[in-house]
Amino acid sequence: MKKHICLLSVIILFGVTFNQHAFSFGEIPAATLQVASNAGYNTAITSVPRSPVVRVGIGNANFGTYVYSNIGIYGTSDVQIYDNNRLVKSVPAYADVLIKRSSGLYEITFEDGEKVSVFGPVRFTCNSGLLGVKDLKRAGKPALYHGAFELAKYDNNRFNLVNMIEVEEYLKGVVPNEMPVDFGLNALKAQTVAARNYVLSPRVKSSPNYDVVDSVASQVYYGANTEKPLATQAVEETEGVVALYNWDLILAQYSSTAGGYTEDFSLAFSDPNTKEFPSKERPYLKAKADILTQKPLNNDDDAAEFYKSRPDSFDIRSPYYRWEKDWTGQELHDVLQNTLVAQSATGFVKPAFNKGDKLDNLVAINVKRRGESGKIVELEIVTESQNFIVQKELVIRRLFVNKGKALPSANVVFECAQDDYGNIVSVKAYGGGYGHGVGLSQFGAGFMGSELNIPYEKILQHYYTDIVLGTKPVMLSQPNQNVTQNFYTTGKETNLVIDNHSADKTLECVINGKDVTLDIAGALFADKESKLDISKYIKKGRNTITFIAPEALRHGKDKYIKLYVELVKKDDFKYNW
């Protein structure tokens, strides 16, 4: 079998696209590989990547801005500085390089006093170490990063700091900052898959210069100095694994604590484009109780019974599993006088309450609709002369501020006391959970993994309905196209899932270094996907498979083969207490 596989082709994990942007390889100056996205930013990295490269916007100390006019960069070993693809200078370890942008140019000042001005973008690599930002700390430690830095133009006098880093390395700086490592390996693996899904899913980019940011606005990414061995193990032992539903990466929502009952996506989130609420359903993000016999909580009585008690739940170890809040009538009135103005700007308070409007005495808080988890979806605030309808859990949480903080969740039951005139004199809230409560519950995952020893695959299949675990689906649509996927598995059965719209009945592959010809005739123009057992070629641990596009793709513009490696089949996982 003849195979002419270019090295630069076979190392591209998950295919040739990422976040709807293709990556290609350019020149290799000064022993560094240049990777470019179709947004037009070539970025030097220190080696051939084993996984896609993500562009992460790095914020200042409090994440208040991602725009800089000047900055200091250093490395823990020799640093190479580039003006676009041209090497400007190499400086020793821990030598501060100061950069200022003005009038369309970057002025670079070195420790020896030398100054140069360049057009940029300015790029930094540190082949044997890590890159750092002068005076920037994350989690109390100096902020250090794998990969490369780019200073990308924002305007004539400012720029963004972008960390170009492989996804698998990026996740090592995310997972221990999104989940406590003492939750255990199984929970950390589940968190890793959710985080990998997040960063690999197509999205509207945070900026033309980067894909995601390093704060809670995307995922918390604090870099190499916050990595933890157990979290790194979780990343390495789930390499390449994503959660799929009908060929698509799922939107792997997660929050701290669901409160014992997760909620439908549609009842917690609005459509990001149309602002429609409830939004369209995501069939894999369905309301689900931890206790199989628990009835739905979509009425006040059942919600009160549940959230005023502490039934068994995967979330029971969370400090936010159950909570209570209190206001006097006047305290809540004063809170709503302010928060109704701010939340009216979201469009989910009707009629809008504007700055300068006066709120009358509170008479009632009426829940108009609850989700299956008991989460308030819509409520009515009644005053002596006003009625406000409020929708969406985050808006509701931010309305009912207590001691300067929003409600931990909208899984809440209000009990109001009134005076002889019908005015509210006190309010008590009984609630459970922290966050939106859709998808994976981090405290729940920790309990399942550590105390019940449930493997990460089953944790994910509890929180995400009808999913499979596998590699990111890829499409072979061009002759001579080669796609390589790296993945880690401990399972006994591995299937190749195929949707074959080519004219070829075989598929050439290289699996763990061996040439393999697969018979895919059964999937030829099939009405549905076909599965081919490839378990005999797969080993426990890390695997590499390269798919080689067949010659038949030359003979038709509509010919293609879609495929992914299925590692864990769909399973309706249920745990009996």
* pLDDT digits 0-9 by tens, 108-140: 999 999 999 999 999 999 999 999 999 999 999
353 or 43, which is more confident: 353
How far is residue 194's CA from residue 183's CA, in Å, rounded to a whole number?
15
State which fold the 473-568 domain adopts: Jelly Rolls (2.60.120)
Q: What pLDDT, on the 0 to 100 scale, is given for residue 521?
A: 81
Mean pLDDT, to the nearest integer, of 494-513?
Answer: 89
Residue 70, beta-bridge partner list: 100
| Confidence at 527, pLDDT banded by 50, 70, 90 | low
Q: What is the DSSP letter of 182?
A: G
Query: pTM of the predicted model, to two decimals?
Result: 0.89
Q: What pLDDT, on the 0 to 100 scale, is given for residue 122?
A: 97
The model's pLDDT over 141-168, given as tens digits with 9 standing for 90+, comes to: 999 999 999 999 999 999 999 999 999 9
Q: What pLDDT, on the 0 to 100 scale, is given for residue 20?
A: 31
Q: Taking the domains of the chain in order of start, what are their residue ranges?
A: 323-431, 473-568
Residue 261 pLDDT exceeds 70: yes
Residues 363 and 336: beta-carbon distance below 8 Å? no
Q: What pLDDT, on the 0 to 100 scale, is given for residue 573?
A: 76
Q: Which among 153, 170, 249 has a CA at the least distance from the CA of 207?
A: 153
| Furthest CA-CA distance within the chain | 90
Q: What pLDDT, on the 0 to 100 scale, is given for residue 250?
A: 97
How far is residue 306's CA from residue 289's CA, in Å, rounded to a whole number?
11
Residue 523 pLDDT exceeds 80: no
Q: How many CB atoms lie within 10 A of CB 150?
A: 24
In this structure, the dihedral spanned by the alpha carbons of residues 531, 537, 541 and 543, taken in order and rounded to 10 degrees, is -80
Residue 16 pLDDT exceeds 90: no
27 or 134, which is more confident: 134
Q: What pLDDT, on the 0 to 100 scale, is given for residue 18?
A: 31
Mean pLDDT, to the nearest integer, of 77-97?
Answer: 96
Q: Is 457 exposed, middle or buried (0-12, 13-18, 19+ CB in 10 A)?
A: buried
Token pair recorded at residue 86: 């041209």
Q: Which among 318, 50, 31 has a CA at the least distance from the CA of 180?
A: 318
| Confidence at 388, pLDDT banded by 50, 70, 90 | very high
